[in-house]
Amino acid sequence: MNYKYTQQFRQALVEWFNREKRDLPWRQTTEPYHIWVSEVMLQQTRVDTVIPYYNRFIERFPTAETLAYAPEQELLKMWEGLGYYSRARNLQAGVREVVETYNSVVPDNRADISKLKGVGPYTAGAILSIAYGKPEHAVDGNVMRVLSRVLHIKEDIALPKTRKVFEEAVDFLIDPENASSFNQGLMELGALICTPTSPKCLLCPVRDYCIAFEAGDAAQLPIKTKKIKMKQLELDVAVIQNTEGHYLLEQRPAEGLLANMWQFPMVERNKESIDEKYNVAIEAKKPLMQFKHVFSHLTWHIDSYSATVKETGVLGEHVQWFTKEQIAQLPMPVPMLKIWSQVDV
DNA sequence: AAGGCGGGGAA
DNA sequence: TTCCCAGCCTT
C-alpha cells in the first residue's frame, strides 16, 4: 500500500478514541457473549436505538446458556421493534451451537467463529478484536466511508467485492497492540466526525493523514451506486372482536418477512376479502387508521378498521382468538402495534 | 452478484 | 423524499 502515515494514523485514532469514546453499555465489558449480542443488534441499526434493547436483553438473557433454549416467542418479543428479526433467530442458533459444541466458550479464531449462524465477516472481526483483542478486520459501513476518504479509495462500496479492498486496508493499518480501540475508533470516527454528509473535518483527529481532506473531496466519498425502486402493497387490516371480547390474530409463516410474528387479519385490497380468507362474517365495521409502513424493500399502504363477529366457521391453522392480556405477550411488527394502540380496549 | 430482510433518525 | 445505519443469508 502506498500510504505513508500508518504509524501516525494509528496513534492519532487510538488516542482520540480512548479520549472521546461514548459511554455505551457494551463498552463496560469484554465478555464475548455480551459483545456478540451488541454487535448483532447493531447490524444496520443505530446506537441510540440499540441501547434500551441491549440492556433489557442482557438482563433477561445474561449468559449464553440462558439464551440458548429460551422460547422463540419470548425471544422475538424481546426483539420486537428492532427489525430484521432473523437476526434474533440466528443469534440464538449460534449461541446454542457455542453452548453445545464449544462448551459455552465463544471461539477466538475467525475460522470457527465464522461458522456460527448470523456471524459474518464484520461480526466475526468485531467480536475477535473487541472481546479477545485479536488484530482482525471489522469492516462495516462506517469503516468503508472513513477509509474511502483517508486512503482516497474510489471503488463502488455498493459492490460486494469491494469489501475485500477495505479488509486488506485494515489488515495493513490496524494497530496490533490496540486492535479493539483501533476498530472501534474507525467506527466511532465514522459515527461522530466522518459522517456521510458534511463530515466535520476541522474536528477530525486524523485530518493530517487524510488524502481526501488534502484533495478537498472528502464529502464526495465514498462512491456508492444507486439502488432499486420499492414494491408497493395495499392492505386492509381488520381488528375483529367476538362476543366474548376476544380478538382474532394470525401467525405469519415461519419463513420470509416478519417470520413467525403475529398480525391482525390482513388481505390485499380488492383482491381478497377478510370474510372469505378467515372464514368469518364480520359486521359493525368502524374505521381505525390509514397509514404507510415502509420496509427496506417494500411499502405497505394500510387501511385498518375494527369489526365484530357473531359466529365463525373453522379457523385456519395459524389463526386463533386471544384476550388482550395474551396479545400483550405476542411478538408483533410495528405496524400492528400501531393499529392495536388505536383500539380502545 | 443481486435481492430479501425492519425500523427509525437525519438532512 | 432520500439516505443509511457497528450486515447476513439465500439464490
pLDDT, one tens digit per residue, over A116-164 is 999 999 999 999 999 999 999 999 999 999 999 999 999 999 998 999 9
Judge if the beta carbon of A123 is closer than 7 A to nucleic acid strand C. yes
Q: Structural domain of residue A205, as residue ranges?
A: 6-220
Q: Is A345 contained in some domain? A: no
Task: Examine the domain organization and report whether A33 and A113 are in the same domain.
Answer: yes
Measure the N-to-C terminal CA separation of chain A; round to a whole number of Å.
Answer: 65
Q: Does residue A345 carry a pLDDT above 70?
A: no
Domain boundary among A178, A193, A220: A220
DSSP letter assigned to residue A249:
E
Among residues A114, A133, A115, the alpha carbon closest in space to that of A124 is found at A114
Q: pLDDT tens across A310-337, in order?
A: 878 899 999 999 999 999 999 999 999 9
A153 and A273: one domain? Answer: no
Closest nucleotide to the alpha carbon of A94, via C1': C8
Flag whether A225 is in a domain: no
| Domain end marker among A220, A242, A266 | A220
Q: Please, are residues A146 and A189 in contact by the beta-carbon 8 Å criterion? A: yes
CB proximity list for A85: less than 8 A, separation 6 or greater: A76, A79, A258, A259, A260, A261, A331
Check whether residue A13 and residue A154 sit in a common domain: yes
**Positive or negative torsion for Cα A246, A250, A254, A255:** negative
The answer to whether the beta carbon of residue A136 comes closer than 7 angstroms to any atom of strand C is no
Alpha helices in A70-178 (DSSP H): 72-79, 86-101, 110-113, 121-132, 141-150, 162-173
Residue–nucleotide distance: A296 CA to B4 C1' (Å)? 9
A238 and A215 both lie in a single domain: no
Residues A215 and A264 in one domain: no
Nucleotides of C under 7 A from a protein CB: 2-9
What's the mean pLDDT when you consider all of chain A? 95
Q: Which nucleotides of strand B are protein-proximal, with an atom < 7 A from a CB?
A: 1-9, 11
pLDDT for A310: 83
| Nucleic acid strand B within 7 Å of A293 CB | yes
Give the pLDDT band of residue A229 (cuts 50, 70, 90). Answer: low
Q: Are A70 and A22 found together in one domain?
A: yes
Whether A54 is in a domain gets the answer yes
For residues A212 and A69, membership in a common domain is answered with: yes
CATH number, residue A244: 3.90.79.10
Q: How far is the CA of A81 from the C1' of B5 (A)?
A: 14
When divided into structural domains, chain A yields a total of 2
- Give the pLDDT confidence score for residue A336 in this predicted structure: 97
- Answer yes or no: do A153 and A252 share one domain: no
Please report whether residue A301 resides in a domain: yes
> Same structural domain for residues A247 and A324?
yes
A154 and A36 share one domain: yes
Could you tell me if residue A263 is left (phi over 0), alpha (psi between -120 and 50 degrees) or otherwise beta?
beta
As annotated, the active-site residues of A are 39
Q: Tell me: do A208 and A238 sit in the same domain.
A: no
